[in-house]
Amino acid sequence: MAVESRFVVIRHGAEVKTFMDKKSADEYDRMLDMADNLAEVFAESPVELSDGLAEELSIYLAQKREEVLVALLAKKPAKKATKKVPTPASEPVAEQAAVDKVTSDVEKKAPKAKVKPN
């Protein structure tokens, strides 16, 4: 017999979604809390929104929390990691430097050949 742990998000007495890990369930619950707060802001707005549209919009904005914070200038955008790609011109120079070093090391260690005059 297998035992499974499940985490259920319940809102207003109804089961909304089930998760297999607590972290995901907590994140989803927080997102729904943000959506509820946004719906309250929309209700106080002079713009007329239907209940369905206000709910959809509040959930969308809560899901896009990071982008909304950046748009509101409350958070700086995340820096994208840039990978330095070597240019074709720089590769032969680096390879040649390595070859020169090895050649130099070999020449220092190798015994010098003696040449007999004819």
* CA dihedral of residues 8, 10, 14, 20 (deg, nearest 10): -10
List, for residues 35-85, the tens digit of each pLDDT value: 999 999 998 989 888 888 999 999 999 999 999 998 888 788 887 766 666
- Is the predicted pLDDT of residue 99 greater than 70, yes or no? no
Give, as one character, the DSSP assignment of residue 50: -
List, for residues 3-18, the tens digit of each pLDDT value: 888 898 888 888 888 9
Q: Does the predicted TM-score (pTM) go above 0.75?
A: no
State how far the Cα of 78 lies from the Cα of 92, in Å rounded to an integer.
35
Stronger pLDDT, 2 or 106, i.e. the higher one: 2
State how far the Cα of 104 lies from the Cα of 95, in Å rounded to an integer.
14
Q: What pLDDT is attached to residue 114?
A: 56
* Phi, psi of 85, rounded to the nearest 5 degrees: -105, 125
